[in-house]
Amino acid sequence: MPHVYYNSWISDYKNPFGAVQQEEKVTFQMDIHENQVIEAQFIIRKENGSQGEEKYQMKDTGDNRFSCIYTPHEGKGLYFYYFSVKWKDDHGGELTAYWGASAVKGEGWLYQEQHEVIPYQLTCFEKEEQTPDWYREAVFYQIFPDRFYNGNQDGKVNKPKRNSFIYGDTRDTPMYVRGSKGEILRWDFYGGNLEGIRQKIPYLKDLGINAIYLNPIFQAASNHRYDTADYMKVDPMLGDEALFREIMEDLHEEGIHVILDGVFSHVGRNSIYFNYDGTYGEDKGAYRNLDSPYYPWFSFSEYPDKYASWWGIDDLPEVDKSNKEFQDYIYQDDNSVIDKWSRLGVDGWRLDVADELPDEFISGIRHKLDQYPEKVLIGEVWEDASNKIAYEKRRQYILGNHLHGVMNYPFRNTVLDLLQLEKSPQELCQRLTQLHENYPKDVLFNNLNNIGTHDTKRIYTFLGEDKERLKLALSFLLIAPGIPCIYYGDEAGLTGEQDPDNRKFFPWEDMDTDIFKHCQKWIAERKQNNTLKYGDFVLFHTDDVLGMLRFTDDEYTIYIINPHDAEKSCHFDDLQFLREVPLTDEVIKGIFNNLTVHGKSDFFVTGKI
């Protein structure tokens, strides 16, 4: 077998790195150390393209190097490629082998059989997804409104809902009152409200927050409000539209932007649209009236009691997103949901369960948002959004004119695997570099990073309430490329298992100030450090530690995490960089000269290039 080498992460073999814009030329080069090479071919196909598999002869440029320039000419989408090598053996016979990707891409390896080849992915996008400066410089704070703060002077809860219960103390542990089938019988509330958010603006400013992601605020029956009752109204327990307008003005005056949670896959059973329990009138809503204007929004198999619902949950009737009237209501009409809240000052949206929304629906929302200045659109996607298949369809999330970015759960998984010692630093560097390769650069830097949300176990609990490891998770969140988002209370040491335990009330009287100050320090560093806001990155590792180099044209930052209990030494000769770096060996040697990182600790240094 000949000695063949190709690495899609090194610009000497593939240039430019990562995703490319349609009609952008890409140079592919590979090394073949074999005296009797007959030919080398670059083989590529566009998924669902019209050309099928195309083969291009690679030119022998000397010094065992073979080269080919390719231009993606079938528009945006995913292209898959590999290489074939044909040579003569010592007896004059012709042999063929194939170079394809490994499970983590990058270097790949040689295959003897063509049908076994794992191809490399080349992401081709339509246009750059530039976001406003406020977003690229943001440090987000996710607020679950009922659990943050009650701003009423007397502490009373605004307009409690019927057949619900209110906790007697904000220190109480949240729980669900369930029936025999697991259904929620009575929703529970603490009484957090919009006025509470306004009163805590000084707290948010002190922490360093300049953007908020609000879990749903629209009228609903539950405490989480993902069961929308009326998209056009603020839930009365939180306040009203006039108060919302005031608070938006106050937040903007303090330099804090706001994105809302858009839950458009389904509505609440007890909503103005479905009206299961008759709250909105005996003959109103799709469940009670076949002539309701909302009836075509829903799919009934046996009217009225058998209908499509989100993941089979009866409380959440599923909406037909292809219905023209529903599209008009959400984003097409001049007085649509998107229009109304945009005019009230909302700076963007996070689309809940983006997998449930057709690409055309997402692009319709994006088209409407683009009519307003400096808005952003983020989607809830848990996996690699570049190649996600949902309901047997490859999604277009990040290829242009859809989402600006997604919630970066793969980043969260990497942080957890690192700090729990589940995977080696090498594996995790490869995982993040593969994501870097697959995503358009703008999208990667627009991703809303998290280490925990309302849908996950609390990060502090996940890490066994190990404070030093929690600090490392928060530091890494604020160092990494993308937009950091802190789940309310993580900076205060809040614990919690899965829902509902991860949605406790904020511990205002029992905050861990040590964690708060740590978080505050790293937020301040990020806000004044351009490499952390705008810089590219390269990952590196030794057997024991994971590192990240962030850099611009004239500055760099190096950050290293040691997740082990014991201290670890980092020597220049042990470093493995996954891509080229803009620093000389002399600079790197100077940094890593007898460098030791204490157990469950990190190392941070900045400099000029």
CB-CB neighbours of 183 under 10 Å: 12
Upstream peptide bond of 304 is cis (omega within 30 degrees of 0): yes
> Which alpha helices (DSSP H) does 455-499 contain, by range?
459-462, 467-479
Evaluated on CA atoms 87, 89, 93, 99, the torsion sign reads negative
490 is known as an active-site residue:
no
- Characterize 542-560 residue by residue with b for buried, 16 or more Cβ atoms within 10 angstroms of its Cβ, and e for exposed: bebbbbbbbbbeebbbbbb
Task: Dig out the tokens for 604 from the structure.
Answer: 């941070």
- The answer to whether 495 and 505 have CB atoms below 8 angstroms apart is no
Q: Which of 315, 380, 490, 602 is catalytic?
A: 380
- The answer to whether 538 and 578 have CB atoms below 8 angstroms apart is yes
499 is known as an active-site residue:
no
Evaluated on CA atoms 585, 590, 594, 596, the torsion sign reads negative
Residue with tokens 């196909």: 45
Those residues whose C-beta lies under 8 Å from the C-beta of residue 503, and which sit 6 or more positions away, are 144, 147, 174, 223, 224, 454, 496
Task: Dig out the tokens for 295 from the structure.
Answer: 């009836």
Burial category of 57 from C-beta neighbours within 10 Å (exposed 0-12, middle 13-18, buried 19 and up):
exposed
- The answer to whether 609 and 582 have CB atoms below 8 angstroms apart is yes
CA distance linking residue 144 with residue 223, whole number of Å: 9
Residue with tokens 């620093």: 583
DSSP string, 18-34: S-EETT--EEEEEEEE-
Q: Which of 318, 352, 490, 536 is catalytic?
A: 352
DSSP string, 255-297: T-EEEEEE--SB--TTSTTT-TT-TT-TT-STTT-TT-TTGGG
What is the amino acid identity at position 449? N
DSSP 330: I
- The answer to whether 2 and 89 have CB atoms below 8 angstroms apart is no
CA distance linking residue 229 with residue 227, whole number of Å: 6
DSSP string, 65-118: EEEEEE---S-SEEEEEEEEEEEE-TTS-EEEEEEE--TT-TT-EEESSGGGPP
Residues involved in catalysis: 352, 380
